[in-house]
Amino acid sequence: MNVMLTGSTGFVGSNIYSLLVELSVSVITPVRKEATKQALSHSILLKDLLELDEDLIKRHATDVFVHCAGLAHNPEADPSRYRDINTDLTVLLAERAASAGVKRFIFFSSIGVNGSSSQLPFKADDEVTPHDDYTESKFKAEQGLKNIAVKTGMEVVIIRPPLIYGAGAPGNFAKFVKLAKLPLPKPLGAIHNKRSFVSIDNLAEFTHLCLTHPNAANETFLVSDGEDLSTSDFLRKISKALGKPALLLPVPVSFLRKVGRTVGKEEMIDKLAVDLQVDIKKNEELLGWKPSLSVDSALQKAFSSL
């Protein structure tokens, strides 16, 4: 089996690449820098993913196309860039993959397609409520991929992860780590919400399973560690894995919100305090998959080199 993997220099893509190579899967990776090409065993040097045409995909006898590349969530990004990269480019590559005879296309979407918070744990077949330009671009890509699957017969697998963490993870996890390292008390010890997280190790393992499992065809999956935590407890676990005291003060969320309104950080407090859970029963029922690593084990692994 030959896998073509985009985004192999990003956090998610690089970890998936490492696992697939470790498991002796043949992986072809489009890259933009000569130094990167030399560092990866099988890669194609391109100026842009737009150069990845049908002939090139077919030349490498691609069986499965794993699309990790995309524009990450950034409040300052131009909305049109989300559409260009996360939607239009994804659909274009899928059309070319289908024309080249690719059997399966795996797309990394976002739990934000389901919504920004949950009253009950989200399920993959729930009605979607994308809430900003980023999540809207991911949802429109999903719609485009499903249309291509119907028209061409190429199988599509959509994966919507929540916050992904692990060694070198960017975004909100990097902020959590920076916060945990501060040798100062933090007023975040009384946030009693429930959130789902997924370690990069569990996500990469799940992706590997989706390469070939027949029941994954044309399905959407939510994926997590299966261990929901409050923001406070997640910070405590990060601190423990780092070997540092948590120093979390039990300040009521209502007070944090008042302070947040005063200093213009109310949205940030809301994100820390809301519930965002996912239901992963479908993954076990359809694919027989359960996460291999607990949150504690994954965090220990993430910080083992420090």
How far is the C-alpha of 21 from the C-alpha of 292, rounded, in Å?
Answer: 19
Among 17, 82, 134, 165, the one annotated catalytic: 134
**Residue length, the chain?**
306
CB neighbours of 242 closer than 8 A, spacing ≥ 6? 177, 180, 181, 303, 306
Q: How many CB atoms lie within 10 A of CB 202?
A: 26
DSSP 141-160: HHHHHHHHHHHH--EEEEEE
- Would you say 249 and 186 are in contact if contact means Cβ atoms under 8 Å apart? yes
Known active-site residue 134: yes
Residue 209: exposure state from Cβ atoms within 10 A (0-12, 13-18, ≥19): middle
Distance CA 102, CA 54 (A): 10
Give helix 295-302 / helix 231-242 axis angle, nearest 10°: 40
65's CB contacts (< 8 A; 6+ apart) are 3, 4, 6, 57, 93, 94, 97, 102, 104, 105, 106
First to last CA, the chain: 36
Interhelix angle 200-212/11-22, rounded to 10 degrees, is 60
Residues with active-site annotation: 134
